[in-house]
Amino acid sequence: MSEKENKKENPMRKIKVSKVTLSIALKESGENIEKAYTLAERLTDAKPVRTLATRRARTFRIRKGLPIGVKVTLRENKGIEFLKKVLIAKENKLSCKNFDDEGNFGFGVEEYLDIPGQKYDPKLGMLGLNVNVSLERAGFRVKRRKIQKRKLPKNHKINKGDAISFAEKEIGIRIAK
């Protein structure tokens, strides 16, 4: 058996979706944050978290600690189901530019109405959202754990090509070159 065949069969080399993060960023705080909060809750059936400004921006009247966005993190099957639902808004098609060198990818949806099953709500208005997907292999906990953190070996990291091939085969995304 050759080394390449052995790598394909190794369960530690299998790529999986670690998490899917939905984020809605706004320029100002206040009533719009509540609209984004209800939209994120409606889309994911999970409890969103408000994100806070880390620094001051006078031009946008933002001060440090002011809520300026909303995010929800979905893991395992719930995240994959949400990802497949949102990808329909992008017609299951992404660009190579959507993938980074660490094995993650993300895309934006300009209007939540593009997602199937969503109807216009005049109370919410028009809001867009970003979806980010993190991929990992078994053993990635080594770089996150509290005691005895270690770097991942170079051959165990997920590169851009691995992420693209996983997205095409497992999720059904078409990649535009």
**Domains observed in the chain:** 14-176 (3.30.1440.10)
Structure tokens at 165: 């091939």
- Residues facing 94 on adjacent strands: 175
Say what the pLDDT of residue 148 is.
Answer: 93
Say what the pLDDT of residue 62 is.
Answer: 75
| Segment 147-171 mean pLDDT | 89
Q: Which helix (H) or strand (E) holds 137?
A: strand 129-137
Kindly tell me if the per-residue pLDDT of 30 is higher than 90.
no
Structure tokens at 40: 């994120």
DSSP code of residue 127: -
Mean confidence (pLDDT) of the chain:
85
In a 10 Å sphere around its CB, with 0-12 CB exposed, 13-18 middle and 19+ buried, how is residue 119 labelled?
exposed
Say what the pLDDT of residue 146 is.
Answer: 93
Tell me, what amino acid is at 12?
Answer: M
Say what the pLDDT of residue 48 is.
Answer: 92
Kindly tell me if the per-residue pLDDT of 1 is higher than 60.
no
Express each pLDDT in 124-144 by its tens digit.
778 888 999 999 988 888 888
pTM: 0.83
Kindly tell me if the per-residue pLDDT of 21 is higher than 90.
yes
Kindly tell me if the per-residue pLDDT of 58 is higher than 90.
no
CA 137, 138, 140 angle in degrees (round to 5)? 75
Say what the pLDDT of residue 3 is.
Answer: 63
Cα 53 to Cα 26: distance, rounded to the nearest angstrom: 11
Phi, psi of 36 (to 5 degrees): -65, -40
Express each pLDDT in 139-155 by its tens digit.
888 888 999 999 988 88
Kindly tell me if the per-residue pLDDT of 41 is higher than 70.
yes
Cα 30 to Cα 28: distance, rounded to the nearest angstrom: 7
Express each pLDDT in 73-123 by its tens digit.
999 889 999 998 898 888 888 888 989 998 899 998 888 777 888 778 777
